[in-house]
């Protein structure tokens, strides 16, 4: 490869351009460039500087005629003018003159009918390795020779915007341009911005092809049964789907077509703060392997051993690794239509039951709401539990109106007769500070009984406040914790707090019901 292919973007007078380097060669580049450290047993430890997570206030979508009327214009999708984009891109092209670049040509989408060829141009070698880990690699040389990107990402973390000149909100920016099929990322070294930008792209195109794009994990049982796990950060989506008794399809982003479920990615991006070898053995092992990137994980400068319990840089420490680092995976990243859908929530108020069976219509409602709770101490300024709502369990990445995804989900659940469940991985026997977080052993037992079909055979009662069907028993789970009101001082106190949460749910849901398309489908409930 040479720089001629890059000249079509306007890139000229470049330094070296290193194209599709394999992992060992990228390690050499990273060490030579002083971008990271090799830790004991081979993982790479890097720092992301000021940004240890996404910058949601710095994400924009270029306003243009082809996509303008389709985009969900919101805090997550702020409009950006075409002229501003062109001017900023010109400044980036000038900045890159004489600089060394790294390029990876890869794919988003394991299903070849819907996969998107993506080219990522990086300023730094470790981010290029991140791309190589996270996306799907070309299977042979011929595929690379004939590669034609449908979307290109420019990731330039050391280029900082000038808000007064460029029209950004800060020095950092993530700008998607569907007309030019480009993404510009600058001013931030947090690697997750790259994968989430392409996820947003997939969320724009696939629903228009009647494919549901989902922020979820997925796995497969020995009989070929597929399960989907929706959930916001901290609910256990990655942990519960990485199950030694089942094969992992993917841990974060998937599509659901007329043929079944497929992974968007070729890797995993797991939170690793306080990860243990007993609680999450499969993910823990990836932190001890060559090729894994550890973001903001503490490392002893002498022994080069890592400390996963150290949160001195951030609670959001991450491991980015190829999915092949997990022992039991579905190699092609494709499964059938789901047999079970599990909506995960970490309810810190101790109100929702550990498990409930959902009708398709209630699934639709809870999917739109996307509820969990932020916990005290996990985020700056959060001193007590706070209800959090994220449409479709991934509002920051939904390019279209949430009702588009919710309606597609309901249609597919009804068509394929999928069993749907709510699983609370948060507090039982009272709220945060009084009750206790349900043990992961009980949650795993609940998941196991859902996926084996045992929970379909037990007796249920209907909850008075939320209308949920709650099982009276579940093998290997104490029956007394299945009733969320049982651990409270009085049923009256529980009911009072439950009504408050139910009112918050209803308020969020009514906002979505203003959407005319949603009104049509909810009239069937």
Active site annotation includes 252: yes
**Per residue in 376-411, is it b (16+ CB within 10 Å) or e — as a string?**
eeeeeeeeebebbbbbbbbbbbbbbbbbbbbbbbbe
Active-site position among 172, 200, 233, 257 = 233
Closest of 472, 470, 463 to residue 498, by C-alpha: 463
Active-site position among 127, 155, 215, 448 = 215
- The residues that bridge with 106 in the sheet, in sequence order, are 118, 137
Active-site position among 63, 119, 318, 374 = 318
Active-site position among 105, 252, 463, 515 = 252
Active site annotation includes 63: no
Closest of 262, 263, 253, 154 to residue 196, by C-alpha: 253
Active-site position among 55, 152, 238, 363 = 238
Active site annotation includes 417: no
Please say whether the dihedral angle defined by the alpha carbons of residues 470, 446, 241 and 330, taken in this order, is positive or negative.
Answer: negative
Cα Rg of the chain, angstroms: 23
Active-site position among 115, 132, 196, 444 = 196
Active site annotation includes 209: no
Q: Which structure tokens are listed for 60?
A: 């924009």
What three-state secondary structure class fits 66? coil
What three-state secondary structure class fits 105? strand
Active site annotation includes 237: yes
Q: Taking a C-beta distance cutoff of 8 angstroms, is the pair 124, 44 a contact?
A: no
What three-state secondary structure class fits 259? coil
Active-site position among 48, 51, 52, 54 = 54
Active-site position among 51, 63, 127, 237 = 237
Active site annotation includes 196: yes
HSE (CB half, 13 Å, CA atoms) of 64?
15
Q: Taking a C-beta distance cutoff of 8 angstroms, is the pair 333, 249 a contact?
A: yes
Active site annotation includes 215: yes
- Per DSSP, the residues of 486-513 read TTSS-HHHHHHHHHHHHHHHHHHHHHHH
The residues annotated as belonging to the active site are: 54, 196, 215, 233, 237-238, 252, 318
């Amino acid at each position: 490869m040479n720089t001629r292919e890059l000249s079509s973007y306007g890139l000229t007078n470049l330094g070296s351009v290193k194209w599709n380097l394999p992992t060992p060669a990228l390690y050499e580049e990273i060490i030579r460039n002083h971008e990271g450290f090799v830790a004991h047993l081979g993982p790479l430890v890097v720092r992301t500087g000021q940004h240890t997570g996404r910058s949601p206030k710095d994400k924009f979508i270029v306003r243009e005629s082809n996509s303008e009327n389709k985009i969900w214009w919101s805090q997550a999708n702020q409009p950006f003018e075409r002229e501003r984009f062109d001017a900023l891109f010109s400044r980036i092209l000038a900045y890159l003159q004489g600089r060394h670049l790294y390029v990876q040509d890869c794919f988003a989408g394991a299903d070849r009918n819907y996969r998107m060829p993506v080219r990522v141009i990086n300023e730094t070698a470790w981010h290029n390795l991140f791309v190589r880990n996270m996306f799907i690699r070309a299977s042979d040389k011929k595929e690379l020779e004939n590669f034609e990107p449908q979307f290109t990402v420019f990731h330039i973390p050391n280029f900082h915007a000038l808000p007064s000149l460029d029209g950004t909100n800060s020095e950092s920016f993530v700008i998607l341009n569907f007309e030019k099929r480009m993404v510009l990322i600058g001013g931030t070294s947090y690697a997750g911005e790259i994968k989430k930008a392409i996820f947003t792209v997939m969320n724009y195109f696939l629903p228009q092809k009647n494919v549901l794009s989902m922020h979820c994990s997925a796995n497969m049982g020995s009989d070929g049964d597929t399960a989907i796990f929706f959930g916001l950060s901290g609910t256990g989506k990655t942990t519960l789907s990485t199950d030694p008794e089942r094969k992992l399809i993917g841990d974060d982003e998937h599509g659901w077509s007329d043929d079944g479920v497929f992974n968007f990615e070729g890797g995993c991006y797991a939170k690793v703060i306080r990860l243990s070898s007993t609680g999450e053995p499969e993910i823990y092992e990836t932190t001890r392997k060559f090729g894994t990137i550890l973001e903001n994980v503490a490392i002893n400068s002498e022994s080069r051993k890592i400390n996963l319990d150290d949160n001195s840089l951030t609670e959001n420490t991450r491991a980015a690794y190829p999915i092949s680092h997990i022992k039991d995976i579905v190699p092609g990243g494709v499964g059938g239509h789901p047999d079970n859908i599990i909506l995960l929530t970490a309810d810190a108020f101790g109100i929702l039951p550990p498990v409930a069976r959902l009708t398709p219509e209630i699934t639709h409602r809870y999917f739109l709401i996307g509820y969990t709770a932020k916990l005290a101490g996990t985020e700056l300024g959060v001193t007590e539990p706070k209800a959090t709502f994220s449409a479709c369990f991934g509002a920051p990445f939904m390019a279209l109106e949430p009702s588009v995804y919710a309606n597609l989900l309901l249609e597919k659940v009804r068509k394929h007769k999928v069993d749907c469940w709510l699983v609370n991985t948060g507090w039982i026997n009272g709220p945060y500070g009084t009750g206790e977080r349900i043990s992961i052993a009980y949650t795993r037992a609940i998941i196991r009984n859902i996926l084996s079909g045992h929970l379909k055979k037990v007796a249920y009662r209907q909850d008075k406040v939320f209308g949920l069907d709650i099982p009276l028993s579940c093998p290997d789970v104490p029956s007394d914790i299945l009733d969320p009101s049982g651990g409270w001082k009085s049923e009256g106190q529980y009911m009072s707090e439950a009504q408050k949460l139910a009112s918050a749910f209803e308020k969020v849901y009514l906002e979505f019901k203003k959407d005319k398309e949603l009104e049509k489908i909810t009239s069937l409930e």
